Structure 1
Amino acid sequence: MQETTTAPRRLRLHPVRPACWCFDTVLLAAFVALTVALASGYLLGLDIAVVDWADTHRPDWAYWTARTLNYLGQGTPLMVIAVLLGALLAWRTRSVRPLLPPAAAWLLIYGVVGPLKLTTDRAAPSATYKEPFLSQADAVELFHTAGVYGRSYPSGHVVNTIVWYGVLALLLAALLRHAGRPLPHPAVLALRVLPPAIVLVTTTYLGWHWFTDSVAGLLLGLLLDRLLHRVPWDDLPLPGRLRAWGRPALYRSV
């Protein structure tokens, strides 16, 4: 009797919008172009002008409102919420797959943003009145050897907000799907758009980042978010004993 073997299923990337890889290429090219322009001395005047305007248009009520809203971009609380949602979904579906996106997001953020911050070595606007007490012309430059204070570019707050809220939207949609209630598209749109927009504006307005730090964080965050959402989480091969906990949980019901 002839035995039949089943060929392993070919992994297919999950669709994103816009689907074309050319959009990812544009995001990467724009980030590289912005970095090169800043390193060459361009756009530094724009950064200084934005900071000077914000410093003279920041009454107490606006400062505290912006500071409160900026907590939307705190990476550690967002990571904890994502892990808790992933754990809840993992428990309900008896699958380890919901824990994969938060783990991948953490690795991607710290593996990409951290080295970029250390390499570009740009001080924040606050470095003019706090350590290392640089002049504004020195603080705004890339590769200025600001040491431990040179971690402003790109904005980690903006990257955190785009990536983590993307993961939260994915997990919330899966949780509601398994409960028989789809996540409304307006809710997904609000979750994906409003926090990044608020954090980009408030981070710049508070003078915690230069304007181009935030723009760079936006470009990089969108790129990383698209990479994460292309991953076919329900179909990834799992090692060893984890295969018993490999039921589809994120895009398909168990």
Structure 2
Amino acid sequence: MSTSLSPETAKRVSRRWPVISGGVAVLLALGLGLMVVVRTVPGGVDVSFLGELVEHRTAFWTVPALAMDFLGGGWFGVFVVPIGIAVILLIARKRWSAVYFVLATVVSAGMVQLLKSLFGRARPMDILVTADFGSFPSGHVANAATMAVTLAILLQRRWVWAAGVAYVVLMLLSRTYLGAHWLSDTIGGLLLGAAVAVLLWAPLASRLQKEWSAPAAASR
């Protein structure tokens, strides 16, 4: 008797891991948020990591950190960069990819604001930039992780993954260097941003795969 899976069954099985991994990442982010709220004061790792970066603040590092602040947040990071990437995808006739990318960035930003209001964590005192209410999770890092993962999923290139990892790490370091977030805030943002990208990819995976494997047919 044959035990091979039908194509449809195999497809459903292969799509389970994004839902499972994305769900686990969301739970980890929520658990981390609960931990930092229950502690009421920053933990030793948060304090020591921030203290180390603050101790080594110089103009040489502050300028690129401020550049990352501008690139990853505010009107430029929240609107210009995502819309610009979506427009490029539309020009390339990747309509479902543009929908996926915009939807992921919007949902990620919405989840960040929801958790900021839910946890209400205070930001570090040594902050060098103006920031809104709520330290956990980091919106800049969540946005960076969401864009990095969505583009890596869409383009399927190793250099995109490498560039995405580098971008997220630099954003993480810049946010703590500027005193805008504790280390745990940035980890929470990373988990949340990546989770949103993976979870939203699952229901659109088939359409996206067809769009990139047969662009001519998908654009008709």
TM-score bracket for the superposition, by shorter chain length: 0.7 to 0.9
Cα distance, 1:45–1:166 mapped onto 2, change above 3 Å: closer
Is 1:205–2:203 an aligned residue pair? no
Please say if residues 129 and 180 of structure 2, whose CA atoms lie closer than 8 Å, have aligned partners that are also in contact: no
**Aligned residue in 2 for 1:60:** 59
Query: Quick one: distance in 2 between partners of 1:119 and 1:212?
Result: 16
CA positional deviation for 1:195: 0.8
Q: Which residue of 19, 25, 28 corresponds with 1:27?
A: 25
Query: Quick one: distance in 2 between partners of 1:68 and 1:107?
Result: 22
**Aligned residue in 1 for 2:4:** none
Which ranges in structure 1 are unaligned for 5 or more consecutive residues?
A: 1-8, 132-147, 174-182, 237-247
Q: Which residue of 136, 153, 157 corresponds with 2:136?
A: 153
**Aligned residue in 1 for 2:87:** 84
Q: Which residue of 228, 236, 251 corresponds with 2:200?
A: 228
Query: Quick one: distance in 2 between partners of 1:40 and 1:81?
Result: 40
Query: Quick one: distance in 2 between partners of 1:31 and 1:76?
Result: 25
Q: Which residue of 179, 183, 189 corresponds with 1:217?
A: 189
Please say if residues 19 and 202 of structure 2, whose CA atoms lie closer than 8 Å, have aligned partners that are also in contact: no
CA positional deviation for 1:122: 2.0
SS in 2 for 1:109: helix
Query: Quick one: distance in 2 between partners of 1:249 and 1:130?
Result: 41
Query: Quick one: distance in 2 between partners of 1:169 and 1:20?
Result: 14
Query: Quick one: distance in 2 between partners of 1:102 and 1:164?
Result: 7
CA positional deviation for 1:127: 7.7
**Aligned residue in 1 for 2:5:** none
SS in 1 for 2:188: helix
Query: Quick one: distance in 1 between partners of 2:41 and 2:22?
Result: 24
In terms of fraction of residues, the more helix-rich structure is 2
Please say if residues 120 and 133 of structure 2, whose CA atoms lie closer than 8 Å, have aligned partners that are also in contact: yes
CA positional deviation for 1:50: 2.6
**Aligned residue in 1 for 2:149:** 166
Deviation track 1:39-61 (CA, whole Å, cap 9, x = no partner) reads: 11177133233333322211111
C-alpha RMSD of the superposition? 3.4
Deviation track 1:135-155 (CA, whole Å, cap 9, x = no partner) reads: xxxxxxxxxxxxx94222100
SS in 2 for 1:187: helix
Which structure would you say has the larger Rg? 1
Amino acid at match of 2:113: G
CA positional deviation for 1:252: 3.4
**Aligned residue in 2 for 1:140:** none
Matched pairs, number:
204
Please say if residues 151 and 160 of structure 2, whose CA atoms lie closer than 8 Å, have aligned partners that are also in contact: no
Percent identity between the two aligned chains? 23
Please say if residues 51 and 207 of structure 1, whose CA atoms lie closer than 8 Å, have aligned partners that are also in contact: yes
**Aligned residue in 2 for 1:6:** none
Query: Quick one: distance in 2 between partners of 1:155 and 1:168?
Result: 20
CA positional deviation for 1:15: 5.1
Please say if residues 157 and 199 of structure 1, whose CA atoms lie closer than 8 Å, have aligned partners that are also in contact: yes
Q: Which residue of 195, 201, 204 corresponds with 2:167?
A: 195
CA positional deviation for 1:123: 2.8
Is 1:38–2:10 an aligned residue pair? no
Please say if residues 124 and 181 of structure 2, whose CA atoms lie closer than 8 Å, have aligned partners that are also in contact: yes
Which ranges in structure 2 are unaligned for 5 or more consecutive residues?
A: 1-7
